[in-house]
Amino acid sequence: MQIRKTLLTVAVAAALGACGGGSDTMEAATPAVTASALRSQAQALRNAGVTPEEAARQLMDAAESAPQYAGYFPSHQPTQSAGPFHYRHYPETGVYLGVVVVAGTSYEVGAIYVIGGPFGGSIDAPVPQGLVTNYITPVAPTPTTPPPAGAGNGCFDLALLDTQGTRLTVSYSYTGAMTGTQTIDSTVGGLVSFQGYQARETVTATTSSMQGGFTITAKVYAARTGVGEVTQYGMATEESTLAPAMRTVYTPPWVDRTASLAIGESFTATQNTSYSYVINGAETPGGSYQTSSTTTYLGNETVTVPAGTYDACKFEVSSGPGSAPSTNWFVRGKGLHVKSVNGGVVMEATSVKLNGQAL
């Protein structure tokens, strides 16, 4: 077992060493020397203005960007937390890469651990891989002007979507090329496991007068994984008059950075989606497809809809050639969707409620 760990350590060191900074191998040390080195490292990072969380992010980003490491960390994954760790899970290889960011446990801040795939180990016995500073030299983020109130760019209150019991109810009218009404009622639930990820489950019921009238209930799985960042994992919809029950999975999960955009900035997201049907309790493969869209933060303006007049953030979403871009307005500071113009269809909010109170 010790030989196995030594070989793995050398492999990890060689790969991460290519990311820049640090040494190529890890020297043996007594527990006392190791603990002292870890404490010194943590103090050095604090003096440099680098938080343990930021150092962990930089380490994991470096690991993902090293070509030599693609066999272990083949894609960019969202950062999650469990106990004293920030970690990322790579479902393609089964590997978990974690960094200790919380002091006061049996693990020292700044230590790196892996489990799964060729590394072995377990949750109770993760395989140590040295210190963050063995591989990179973390740097303090460049100071920027503090964002306005709210998360990220101030357009969305991501804490609402991360608080169990939050209820958002918005009714809409549709005019133009499509007419009718629709109500979307969402309630934020607890943390659950979905496809191996820890995600927040939100139950959303959509009732519409269009297409002959229908109600669809869906469980959406997502998690706030950074300031202005929400990672989307998938959803499960119940059977309706429109379709049988379905399960949708994003592989890999995609990161929605709308809440982090500055005015004039854009980001492009690609969703690789697989879906299956659930009929009489049995899951049957359906298929897969890929979509891509670009979101641009156009600016802030006042918008008036039947529900009221709001200070709003304005975004444009484009899905590429052949499709008309949609323009969307969200209540600034809350993030509730109150208006959309998509081709010849105009959607406007007629009622907006947050936890039962009109907004």
CA dist., res. 333 & res. 152, Å (int): 10
| Residue in the structure block whose two tokens are 């799985």 | 221
Query: Is residue 8 predicted with pLDDT exceeding 50?
Result: no
Residues with Cβ within 8 Å of residue 31, at least 6 apart in sequence: none
C-alpha distances (whole Å) from 133 to each of 130, 173, 264, 303 are 8, 56, 36, 50
Secondary structure of residue 55 in the 3-state scheme: helix
- Write down the pLDDT at residue 19: 40
pLDDT digits (tens, 9 = 90+) for 212-250: 888 999 999 999 888 889 999 999 998 877 778 899 999
Per-residue tokens: 80: 């999650």
Nearest residue to 88 (alpha-carbon basis) of 109, 113, 111, 66: 113
User: Is residue 17 predicted with pLDDT exceeding 80?
Assistant: no
3-state secondary structure of 235: strand
CATH 2.40.360 location in the chain: 160-358
What band does 265 get if pLDDT is binned at 50, 70 and 90? Answer: very high
Confidence band for 3, pLDDT divided at 50, 70 and 90: very low
Which run of H or of E encompasses 13? helix 2-17
Element (H, E) at 339: strand 337-342
pLDDT of residue 48: 54
Q: Report CA Rg, the chain.
A: 23
Percentage with pLDDT > 90 across the chain = 48
Token representation of residue 35: 């603990």
pLDDT band at 115 (very low <50, low <70, confident <90, very high): very high
Q: Which residue has the tokens 């900035």?
A: 265
Beta strands at 282-305 and 308-318: parallel, antiparallel or unpaired: antiparallel
**C-alpha span between 153 and 257 (Å, rounded):** 10
Question: Is the CB of residue 30 less than 8 Å from the CB of residue 36?
Answer: no
Question: Can you tell me which residue has the tokens 């005015």?
Answer: 263
Q: What's the CA gap between 49 and 37, in Å, rounded?
A: 18
Identify residue 10 by its one-letter amino acid code: V
Distance CA(98)–CA(54), nearest Å, equals 13
CATH (residue range 160-358): 2.40.360
Distance between CA atoms of residues 191 and 201, nearest Å: 6
Q: Give the integer Cα–Cα distance in Å for 183 and 181.
A: 7
**What is the reported pLDDT for 338?**
97
Task: Identify the weakest region by mean pLDDT among 49-53, 110-114, 145-149, 329-333.
Answer: 145-149
* Number of neighbouring beta carbons within 10 Å of residue 32: 8
- Return the percent helix, strand and coil in the chain, to nearest 5: 15, 50, 35
Residues making up the chain, counted from first to last:
359
For residue range 53-96, what is the model confidence (pLDDT) as tens digits? 888 888 998 898 888 888 999 888 878 778 889 898 898 899 99
**Paired strand residues for 53:** none
What is residue 139's predicted lDDT score, i.e. its pLDDT?
Answer: 83
Task: Check residue 222 and give its pLDDT.
Answer: 94
Type of residue at 327? T
Across the chain, how many H-helices and E-strands are there? 3, 18
**CA nearest to 340, candidates 315, 321, 306:** 315
Alpha-carbon distance of 71 to 65, in angstroms, equals 12
Question: Are the C-beta atoms of residues 225 and 79 closer than 8 Å to each other?
Answer: yes
Is 110 in a helix, a strand, or coil? Answer: coil
178/157 Cα distance (integer angstroms): 31
Distances from the Cα of 255 to the Cα of 125, 134, 204, 251, angstroms: 30, 29, 20, 11
Confidence of residue 49 (pLDDT cuts 50, 70, 90): low
